[in-house]
A and B are shown apart, each in its own frame.
Chain A
């Protein structure tokens, strides 16, 4: 197509209708054309999330679980759970989060026994603890560690998977005692 000023294109004399917002026609040789239509524009906006109504204050924009649209969400949840030191080893699922997390911070504590803080994003993890008998272990391979006061009976866990509505921990440990810890889980989408 020969170079032509866009203002000289007769195809643009008429205002584009609702279906065809912009049409560029190559009139040289065999005429061909490319259009930008209303459907193109709506589709593009929908996929980018730009047509979303504004979300609640301080919400953030996420891609939805299906991966086909955008959505506003908080993306942060605190889940409180319990874990007993006489519970069987194995996988334990935690739900009620409302989204698939990508990272977790765990804080466990029990009066006269100890406190433990760990974090895990399935790429890196670690936990630091202080127990009543002045034992202060650090473990790089676990997300959380709970124990009796002397750390002679203990359980530890790491994140096996992040799930659509929560996560799964794999628990293991040494010994058994009727002690139940509260664990606070800070979960990030």
Chain B
């Protein structure tokens, strides 16, 4: 799971950071990792699980704080966990040309075609180019 911060209105990605989920140890794995036998209690295990929850929440909150620091308002953004599949859907929307960029590109293509046509006509008139049949 990765973390993503999205601008609600536009759906624009503000930031992504990978990972952040904590792999929780099973009771058996956790108890083997505890040195002092007196600390191997259900209460301590629940404390460990609560620490994992808090760490994950803190990691998600990192993106929220970054957005707030960048000038966004809390109600303008959505911070969430995303799967690989969800991230791929977001990623394909990145770096797409804007309508203005697309229009400028089309205009440039038309201009280049017009210039080529005029140049060919001039060369044909000068006898330096044989017109295509």
Contacts and interface: CB of A to CB of B under 8 A. Distances in A.
Nearest to B18: A80
A180 B13 contact: yes
* Residue of A78, A80, A83, A95 with highest tally of chain B CB at under 10 A: A95
Per DSSP, chain A at the interface is strand
A92 B19 CA distance: 17
A96 B55 CA distance: 9
B37 interface: no
A180 B94 contact: yes
A33 interface: no
A124 interface: no
Given A82-B15, A96-B17, A96-B59, A90 B95 contact: no
A82 B16 contact: yes
Interface string B8-42: 00000111111110000000000000000000000
Interface string B81-99: 0000000000000110010
22 contacts: A80-B2, A80-B18, A81-B16, A81-B18, A82-B15, A82-B17, A87-B15, A88-B69, A91-B69, A92-B66, A92-B70, A93-B65, A94-B62, A95-B17, A95-B20, A96-B17, A96-B20, A96-B62, A165-B58, A165-B59, A178-B98, A179-B95
Per DSSP, chain B at the interface is mixed
Contacts of B62: 93-96, 166
A84 B14 contact: yes
Given A88-B71, A90-B69, A180-B94, A95 B16 contact: no
Contact of B18 (A84, A96, A110): A96
Interface in A93-112: 93-96, 110
A81 B71 contact: no
Given A88-B69, A96-B17, A96-B62, 4 more contacts: A87-B70, A92-B66, A93-B65, A110-B95
A153 interface: no
A83 B2 CA distance: 15
* Residue of A83, A166, A180 with highest tally of chain B CB at under 10 A: A180
